[in-house]
A = this chain, B = another copy of it.
Amino acid sequence: MSQQRPGGQSGQPGAVPALPDLPEATVARLPEYLRALHNLAETGHDTVSSEGLAAAAGVNSAKLRKDLSHLGSYGTRGVGYDVALLIEQIEYVLGLTQRRAVALVGVGNLGHALAGYAGFATRGFRIAALFDADPSRVGEQISGLVVRHIEDLAEIAAAESIAIGVIATPAAAAQSVADQLVAAGVTSILNFAPCVLSVPEGVDVRKVDLAIELQILSFHEHRKASLTSLPATGPTGGLTALPGGLSATGTEEAVGT
Protein backbone atom coordinates (compact mmCIF):
# COMPACT_ATOMS: atom_id res chain seq x y z
CA MET A 1 0.00 0.00 0.00
CA SER A 2 2.45 2.63 1.09
CA GLN A 3 5.32 0.65 -0.28
CA GLN A 4 6.30 2.58 -3.30
CA ARG A 5 9.34 0.52 -3.79
CA PRO A 6 8.94 -3.14 -3.13
CA GLY A 7 11.92 -5.36 -3.14
CA GLY A 8 13.40 -3.74 -0.10
CA GLN A 9 16.95 -2.57 -0.28
CA SER A 10 17.79 -0.78 -3.44
CA GLY A 11 20.86 1.19 -2.82
CA GLN A 12 21.23 2.21 -6.41
CA PRO A 13 20.54 5.92 -6.62
CA GLY A 14 19.18 6.87 -9.96
CA ALA A 15 18.71 3.31 -10.94
CA VAL A 16 15.40 1.98 -12.08
CA PRO A 17 13.08 1.34 -9.15
CA ALA A 18 13.25 -2.35 -8.57
CA LEU A 19 10.37 -4.19 -10.10
CA PRO A 20 8.15 -5.98 -7.66
CA ASP A 21 8.36 -9.63 -8.34
CA LEU A 22 4.80 -10.29 -9.27
CA PRO A 23 3.08 -13.66 -9.13
CA GLU A 24 3.19 -15.26 -12.53
CA ALA A 25 -0.59 -15.44 -12.66
CA THR A 26 -0.79 -11.71 -12.13
CA VAL A 27 1.72 -11.01 -14.86
CA ALA A 28 -0.35 -13.05 -17.25
CA ARG A 29 -3.40 -10.93 -16.53
CA LEU A 30 -1.82 -7.49 -16.68
CA PRO A 31 -1.86 -7.37 -20.49
CA GLU A 32 -5.55 -8.10 -20.42
CA TYR A 33 -6.15 -5.23 -18.02
CA LEU A 34 -4.06 -3.03 -20.23
CA ARG A 35 -6.13 -3.81 -23.28
CA ALA A 36 -9.34 -3.16 -21.39
CA LEU A 37 -7.95 0.12 -20.10
CA HIS A 38 -7.08 1.29 -23.58
CA ASN A 39 -10.63 0.54 -24.64
CA LEU A 40 -11.96 2.54 -21.72
CA ALA A 41 -9.66 5.44 -22.46
CA GLU A 42 -10.86 5.54 -26.05
CA THR A 43 -14.46 5.63 -24.96
CA GLY A 44 -13.84 8.64 -22.81
CA HIS A 45 -13.57 7.17 -19.35
CA ASP A 46 -11.24 8.96 -17.00
CA THR A 47 -11.65 6.70 -14.04
CA VAL A 48 -12.90 3.19 -13.56
CA SER A 49 -13.86 1.11 -10.59
CA SER A 50 -12.37 -2.28 -9.94
CA GLU A 51 -15.78 -3.71 -10.69
CA GLY A 52 -15.97 -2.04 -14.06
CA LEU A 53 -12.45 -2.88 -15.10
CA ALA A 54 -12.85 -6.43 -13.93
CA ALA A 55 -15.93 -6.85 -16.08
CA ALA A 56 -14.13 -5.41 -19.08
CA ALA A 57 -11.24 -7.79 -18.57
CA GLY A 58 -13.36 -10.80 -17.78
CA VAL A 59 -12.15 -11.45 -14.26
CA ASN A 60 -13.29 -11.26 -10.67
CA SER A 61 -13.06 -7.80 -9.11
CA ALA A 62 -11.33 -9.02 -5.97
CA LYS A 63 -8.68 -10.68 -8.07
CA LEU A 64 -8.19 -7.53 -10.05
CA ARG A 65 -7.73 -5.43 -6.94
CA LYS A 66 -5.23 -7.87 -5.55
CA ASP A 67 -3.33 -7.92 -8.82
CA LEU A 68 -3.13 -4.15 -8.96
CA SER A 69 -2.18 -3.90 -5.32
CA HIS A 70 0.94 -5.88 -6.13
CA LEU A 71 2.31 -3.08 -8.22
CA GLY A 72 1.55 -0.35 -5.77
CA SER A 73 -1.40 1.68 -4.68
CA TYR A 74 -2.71 3.56 -7.65
CA GLY A 75 -6.39 3.68 -6.85
CA THR A 76 -8.44 6.14 -4.85
CA ARG A 77 -10.89 4.74 -2.37
CA GLY A 78 -14.41 5.81 -3.04
CA VAL A 79 -13.50 6.77 -6.58
CA GLY A 80 -11.65 4.08 -8.45
CA TYR A 81 -8.58 4.01 -10.64
CA ASP A 82 -7.33 6.76 -12.88
CA VAL A 83 -7.33 5.19 -16.30
CA ALA A 84 -4.42 7.11 -17.76
CA LEU A 85 -2.25 6.65 -14.70
CA LEU A 86 -2.96 2.95 -14.55
CA ILE A 87 -2.13 2.50 -18.21
CA GLU A 88 1.14 4.25 -17.61
CA GLN A 89 1.97 2.09 -14.62
CA ILE A 90 1.13 -1.21 -16.25
CA GLU A 91 3.02 -0.31 -19.39
CA TYR A 92 6.00 0.56 -17.28
CA VAL A 93 5.91 -2.68 -15.33
CA LEU A 94 5.53 -4.70 -18.50
CA GLY A 95 8.45 -2.89 -20.03
CA LEU A 96 6.41 -1.47 -22.89
CA THR A 97 7.60 2.09 -22.54
CA GLN A 98 10.27 1.22 -24.98
CA ARG A 99 9.16 -0.29 -28.24
CA ARG A 100 10.83 -3.67 -28.17
CA ALA A 101 12.34 -5.12 -31.30
CA VAL A 102 11.25 -8.60 -32.26
CA ALA A 103 12.75 -11.04 -34.71
CA LEU A 104 10.44 -13.39 -36.54
CA VAL A 105 11.91 -16.62 -37.87
CA GLY A 106 10.00 -18.62 -40.44
CA VAL A 107 7.88 -16.84 -43.00
CA GLY A 108 5.63 -19.70 -44.02
CA ASN A 109 1.91 -19.64 -43.73
CA LEU A 110 1.81 -18.58 -40.12
CA GLY A 111 4.88 -16.39 -40.34
CA HIS A 112 3.26 -14.30 -43.04
CA ALA A 113 0.22 -13.76 -40.89
CA LEU A 114 2.30 -12.80 -37.90
CA ALA A 115 4.42 -10.41 -39.92
CA GLY A 116 1.27 -8.62 -40.96
CA TYR A 117 -0.40 -8.68 -37.59
CA ALA A 118 -1.15 -5.12 -36.65
CA GLY A 119 -1.63 -6.01 -33.00
CA PHE A 120 2.09 -6.32 -32.46
CA ALA A 121 2.77 -2.83 -33.68
CA THR A 122 -0.08 -1.26 -31.76
CA ARG A 123 0.73 -2.93 -28.51
CA GLY A 124 4.33 -2.17 -27.89
CA PHE A 125 6.38 -4.15 -30.36
CA ARG A 126 8.23 -3.63 -33.58
CA ILE A 127 8.99 -6.51 -35.85
CA ALA A 128 12.53 -5.60 -36.71
CA ALA A 129 13.53 -8.45 -38.96
CA LEU A 130 12.26 -11.52 -40.75
CA PHE A 131 14.31 -14.65 -41.28
CA ASP A 132 13.99 -17.92 -43.10
CA ALA A 133 16.24 -20.79 -43.98
CA ASP A 134 14.78 -21.33 -47.43
CA PRO A 135 16.90 -19.42 -49.98
CA SER A 136 13.94 -19.08 -52.28
CA ARG A 137 12.18 -17.04 -49.66
CA VAL A 138 15.11 -14.80 -48.83
CA GLY A 139 14.67 -11.43 -50.45
CA GLU A 140 10.91 -11.55 -50.46
CA GLN A 141 9.30 -8.44 -49.12
CA ILE A 142 6.58 -8.71 -46.48
CA SER A 143 4.90 -5.80 -44.80
CA GLY A 144 7.77 -3.55 -45.72
CA LEU A 145 10.48 -5.88 -44.53
CA VAL A 146 12.85 -7.98 -46.56
CA VAL A 147 13.29 -11.59 -45.54
CA ARG A 148 16.88 -12.29 -44.56
CA HIS A 149 18.67 -15.58 -44.37
CA ILE A 150 18.89 -17.12 -40.95
CA GLU A 151 22.66 -16.94 -41.17
CA ASP A 152 22.48 -13.19 -40.79
CA LEU A 153 20.59 -13.47 -37.54
CA ALA A 154 23.44 -12.79 -35.15
CA GLU A 155 24.59 -9.73 -37.00
CA ILE A 156 21.17 -8.16 -37.35
CA ALA A 157 20.07 -9.07 -33.86
CA ALA A 158 23.01 -7.19 -32.47
CA ALA A 159 22.46 -4.20 -34.74
CA GLU A 160 18.79 -3.94 -33.87
CA SER A 161 19.11 -4.82 -30.19
CA ILE A 162 16.71 -7.68 -30.56
CA ALA A 163 15.89 -9.45 -27.32
CA ILE A 164 12.73 -11.31 -28.31
CA GLY A 165 12.40 -13.94 -30.98
CA VAL A 166 9.35 -15.59 -32.48
CA ILE A 167 9.66 -19.07 -33.96
CA ALA A 168 7.15 -19.88 -36.67
CA THR A 169 9.00 -22.71 -38.35
CA PRO A 170 8.18 -26.40 -38.67
CA ALA A 171 8.87 -28.38 -35.53
CA ALA A 172 11.90 -30.05 -37.03
CA ALA A 173 13.73 -26.76 -37.35
CA ALA A 174 12.61 -25.14 -34.14
CA GLN A 175 15.33 -26.36 -31.80
CA SER A 176 18.06 -25.33 -34.18
CA VAL A 177 16.51 -21.90 -34.60
CA ALA A 178 16.18 -21.55 -30.86
CA ASP A 179 19.87 -22.32 -30.43
CA GLN A 180 20.75 -19.69 -32.98
CA LEU A 181 18.50 -17.14 -31.35
CA VAL A 182 20.10 -17.77 -27.99
CA ALA A 183 23.54 -17.53 -29.51
CA ALA A 184 22.53 -14.18 -30.99
CA GLY A 185 21.67 -12.85 -27.56
CA VAL A 186 17.93 -13.36 -27.56
CA THR A 187 16.64 -14.08 -24.07
CA SER A 188 12.92 -14.48 -24.69
CA ILE A 189 11.30 -16.76 -27.22
CA LEU A 190 7.73 -17.21 -28.34
CA ASN A 191 7.44 -20.63 -29.93
CA PHE A 192 4.64 -21.57 -32.31
CA ALA A 193 6.21 -24.87 -33.33
CA PRO A 194 4.67 -27.95 -31.74
CA CYS A 195 7.69 -29.16 -29.86
CA VAL A 196 9.56 -28.68 -26.60
CA LEU A 197 12.52 -26.37 -26.73
CA SER A 198 15.45 -26.70 -24.42
CA VAL A 199 17.27 -23.51 -23.69
CA PRO A 200 19.87 -22.34 -21.18
CA GLU A 201 18.83 -20.95 -17.87
CA GLY A 202 17.88 -17.33 -18.04
CA VAL A 203 16.08 -17.67 -21.34
CA ASP A 204 12.30 -17.54 -21.21
CA VAL A 205 10.18 -19.57 -23.55
CA ARG A 206 6.47 -19.32 -24.05
CA LYS A 207 4.64 -21.68 -26.30
CA VAL A 208 1.51 -21.33 -28.37
CA ASP A 209 0.18 -24.50 -29.92
CA LEU A 210 -3.01 -24.07 -31.85
CA ALA A 211 -3.82 -27.76 -32.05
CA ILE A 212 -3.45 -28.12 -28.29
CA GLU A 213 -6.02 -25.43 -27.70
CA LEU A 214 -8.45 -27.27 -29.91
CA GLN A 215 -7.75 -30.54 -28.19
CA ILE A 216 -8.53 -29.02 -24.83
CA LEU A 217 -11.83 -27.82 -26.22
CA SER A 218 -12.39 -31.25 -27.66
CA PHE A 219 -12.07 -32.78 -24.24
CA HIS A 220 -14.79 -30.55 -22.89
CA GLU A 221 -16.95 -31.34 -25.90
CA HIS A 222 -16.46 -35.00 -25.27
CA ARG A 223 -17.32 -34.57 -21.65
CA LYS A 224 -20.40 -32.51 -22.34
CA ALA A 225 -21.56 -35.09 -24.86
CA SER A 226 -21.10 -37.92 -22.41
CA LEU A 227 -23.26 -36.11 -19.92
CA THR A 228 -26.00 -35.14 -22.30
CA SER A 229 -28.58 -37.84 -22.47
CA LEU A 230 -31.85 -36.02 -22.76
CA PRO A 231 -31.57 -32.28 -23.29
CA ALA A 232 -33.40 -30.96 -26.33
CA THR A 233 -30.37 -29.21 -27.72
CA GLY A 234 -28.90 -32.36 -29.03
CA PRO A 235 -26.52 -32.43 -31.93
CA THR A 236 -28.26 -31.34 -35.11
CA GLY A 237 -31.54 -32.07 -33.45
CA GLY A 238 -33.24 -29.86 -35.94
CA LEU A 239 -33.30 -26.27 -36.91
CA THR A 240 -34.08 -24.46 -33.76
CA ALA A 241 -35.63 -21.11 -34.37
CA LEU A 242 -32.85 -18.64 -34.07
CA PRO A 243 -33.37 -15.57 -31.98
CA GLY A 244 -33.81 -12.85 -34.50
CA GLY A 245 -31.96 -10.32 -32.44
CA LEU A 246 -28.61 -11.73 -33.31
CA SER A 247 -28.24 -9.86 -36.50
CA ALA A 248 -24.85 -9.31 -37.95
CA THR A 249 -25.07 -5.58 -37.77
CA GLY A 250 -21.77 -5.35 -36.01
CA THR A 251 -19.79 -7.39 -38.44
CA GLU A 252 -17.25 -5.50 -40.36
CA GLU A 253 -14.90 -6.48 -43.00
CA ALA A 254 -12.45 -8.99 -41.77
CA VAL A 255 -9.30 -7.11 -42.31
CA GLY A 256 -6.09 -8.82 -41.54
CA THR A 257 -5.93 -9.67 -37.96
Contact = CB atoms under 8 A, between A and B. Distances in A.
A225 B16 CA distance: 10
Nearest to A95: B222
Interface string A103-144: 000111111111011011001110000001110010000000
Interface stretch (A23-31, A44-52, A78-86): A23-31
Contact of A216 (B28, B175, B246): B28
B255 A196 contact: yes
Q: What range describes how many residues of A lie at the interface?
A: 35 or more
Interface string A1-27: 000010110101001101101100001
A202 B93 contact: no
Interface string A229-257: 11001111001111101111111111111
A191 to B, nearest CB: 10
B12 A249 contact: no
